[in-house]
Amino acid sequence: MKFNIINECKKTGARTGEIITDNGVIKTPFFMPVGTYGTVKTQSSKEIENLPSSILLSNTYHLYLRPGMEIMHSAGGLHNFMSWNGAILTDSGGYQIYSLKEHREIDDEGVTFKSHYDGSMHRFSPEKIIDIQRIIGSDLMMVLDVCPPGDCSIEEWESAVTLTTKWAQQSYEHYKSTKPLYSHSQSMIPIIQGGTNLELRTKSAKELLELNVDNYAIGGLAVGETKEKMIKTIELMNELIPRRKSRYLMGVGTPIDLIECVKRGIDMFDCVIPTRNARNSQIFTSNGKINIRNSKYKNDHSVIDPDSNSYFSQKYTKAYLHHLFRMNEILGLRISTSHNLQFYIDLMKTINDKINNNTFYSWCEDFIEKYNSRNNK
């Protein structure tokens, strides 16, 4: 995998680039649809490809439990299993494991946990997470990390940073000593932790930068901290991570968050907001967010969003989508999910275009002002 910078905004930290994988070239900055279980809910692989999206995210923890690695290996990896031709990034499952609370036990060498499906016991080590992702065949592999809640004590964060560094070092050594199982190469991404404590973030970043890999992730944000603290943390990361390295901000993803973080040098995003909110009737449009269940859309025969590139958004009306949600029809979830993903993909394409033609700074200030005013009506 290789990361190249194409253009940089002269007034902000925003930049465009490309991540080159054996399964395609991904233009940065980009947003990854979340396909936790090997599927983006309600969408086929072809529909995700047609957005267009050249990468999606899945989850090591969930795929390990179901369908399991025996089936995944016999399928020839996740690309074959889900008929996906683009790139795949797999999260390590560290966040999911940590959230199990009383059902997991962390020690210096890994974590023992109880499956939330059937109560069976399992053991993850940094090395095993790499082995599992070799079987999955993801293009970009996240290391096992420790991700405590945002309100934990400073002692917990110190321990998390120490253990995350140790595990990243073990992961990297194992990564170098093993090879991909399929016909494409794989890259490993360490995760910088430390919450909003800038000293711990600095410590984590400096230790992990010694690995000198091409990509670095910023974890442990969007877990209840204020926007101001999140932004300060990202600004510090922009200063510490060398410009030639790509930066992946994990789990952050309102439209305004994307723009504010691109301004501060972030290249990669993922978040469940567009898909989860879609299933709960919240639609992102060029005129702001709407709740399609609202009665005012019952007899609104205008299209969902005249400015959207989504086929569904041009084909169907707000009244029809309102009706589908009221009747709990699956098509309503498909339309809303497709529309929201298209909104996010289009937003990232616009951001790319604005950076490349050197109008990003003025555009983003105008977009944020208009978007906020529409949502505050």
d(CA 337, CA 80): 24
Q: Which helix (H) or strand (E) holds 21?
A: strand 15-21
d(CA 220, CA 338): 28
- pLDDT for residue 254: 95
Assign 202 a pLDDT band (cuts: 50, 70, 90). very high
Q: Map out the domains of the chain with their CATH numbers.
A: 2-271 (3.20.20.105), 279-375 (no CATH)
Reduced to 3 states (helix: H, G, I; strand: E, B; else coil), residue 75 is helix
pLDDT tens, 233-271? Answer: 999 999 999 999 999 999 999 999 999 999 999 999 999
Pairing relationship of beta strands 110-114 and 121-124 according to DSSP bridges? antiparallel
Reduced to 3 states (helix: H, G, I; strand: E, B; else coil), residue 376 is coil
Nearest to 193 by CA among 167, 228, 226: 167
Tokens of 36: 């936790």
| Locus of tokens 């969902």 | 304
* 169: Cβ contacts below 8 Å, ≥ 6 apart: 211
pLDDT tens, 322-332? Answer: 999 999 999 99
d(CA 217, CA 250): 7
d(CA 377, CA 370): 11
Q: Which residues are known to be catalytic?
A: 91, 270
